[in-house]
Structure 1
Amino acid sequence: MDRLDREILGILQRDARISYRDLGVRVGLSANAAADRVRRMRREGVIRGFTVVVDPAADTRGGLVVFIDLTLRQDTTNEEFEQKAAALPGITEVVHVTGEYDYLVRARAADPAALDTLLRRLKREAGVAQSSTRIALRAAGRPPGGGLP
């Protein structure tokens, strides 16, 4: 990866919907050259996908948005957990993190009973040993660049 690749990644993190033409203009390349670099970074695994970030205040589905810190049981591999957790209804993001917990999971639950069911399923089906759940009360603002990194 060179300076241009890093610059392209920064732009894509702020706006993954930018056209190749506009991306090229911003980094001083043609649209084709910008597209070639993005395709190469996808092929090499530098870019693994694009995520849609929805502002909770603009979301009309209702319910609870929750953040769940969790630790895996010793007999559960990361791959097993990621596969099983991603398949559970309501889970919108699974992030492997450093620190006290193994993962941070973002999820949506219709109500406290649905959240309880989700937590029980994470423990029973996905190999979670311990969890700590926080409920999002409101989105206080947007980070620079308009979205999550």
Structure 2
Amino acid sequence: MDRLDREILGILQQDARISYRDLGVRVGLSANAAADRVRRMLRDGVIRGFTVIVDPAADTRGGLVVFIDLTLRPDTTNEEFEQRVAGLPGITEVVHVTGEYDYLVRARAADPAALDALLRRLKRETGVAQSSTRLALRAAQRPPSGPNTA
């Protein structure tokens, strides 16, 4: 995997339904060249199914994949939080959930120091009152592939 492959993966993680034309425009390739790279990553098992699944074992970017449960401060609205968190680096998914916490955030951090910096920014800049962080060790089970891919 090279820099373009990693850039394509990042875009697909945000929008797995993006057209090859739009994907190519975003990374500076033709639609055919972008499609070829996606097909190769599908063939190599880096991408599986309609929803893009990046297996930490196949992902050469390294670093930590983390899941962060967050509780917002009472003075922070969901809309404010979602707007503020959108610009933070390393965040790959934000899900509003039921239960003890308000949100589940999936993120990538280069190392423990980068994770610490991300957690501090979440509390300082986005209205988070409390967090609980878990590290992904490996993908134990993969979702089944659907008929549609990338």
**What interval of TM-score do these two structures reach, taking the shorter chain for normalisation?**
0.5 to 0.7
Label 1:42 to 1:98 Cα distance change in 2 as closer, same or farther (>3 A).
Answer: farther
Checking the alignment, whether the CA contact within 8 Å between 1:86 and 1:93 is kept in structure 2 is: no
2:117 maps to what in 1?
Answer: 117
Task: Please tell me whether residue 93 in structure 1 is matched to residue 88 in structure 2.
Answer: no
Deviates more, 1:24-33 or 1:85-94: 24-33
Checking the alignment, whether the CA contact within 8 Å between 2:71 and 2:103 is kept in structure 1 is: yes
**TM-score normalised by the chain length of structure 2:** 0.63
2:32 maps to what in 1?
Answer: 32
% identical aligned pairs = 91
Aligned-residue offset at 1:108: 0.3
**After TM superposition, what 4+ stretches of structure 1 lie above 4 angstroms from structure 2?**
1-51
Label 1:46 to 1:124 Cα distance change in 2 as closer, same or farther (>3 A).
Answer: same
Unaligned runs of 5+ in 1: none
Label 1:43 to 1:83 Cα distance change in 2 as closer, same or farther (>3 A).
Answer: farther
How many residues are matched? 146
Label 1:27 to 1:107 Cα distance change in 2 as closer, same or farther (>3 A).
Answer: closer
1:18 maps to what in 2?
Answer: 18
Aligned-residue offset at 1:13: 13
Report the aligned-residue RMSD. Answer: 11.0
Aligned-residue offset at 1:145: 3.1
Query: Aligned partners of 1:70, 1:136: CA distance in 2, in Å?
Result: 17
Query: Aligned partners of 1:90, 1:2: CA distance in 2, in Å?
Result: 19
Question: Which structure has the larger Rg over C-alpha atoms?
Answer: 1
Label 1:49 to 1:25 Cα distance change in 2 as closer, same or farther (>3 A).
Answer: same
Checking the alignment, whether the CA contact within 8 Å between 1:14 and 1:145 is kept in structure 2 is: no
Aligned-residue offset at 1:59: 1.0
**TM-score normalised by the chain length of structure 1:** 0.63
Unaligned runs of 5+ in 2: none
Q: Deviations over 1:20-68 (max 9, x none)?
A: 9999999999999999999999999999999643222221100000000
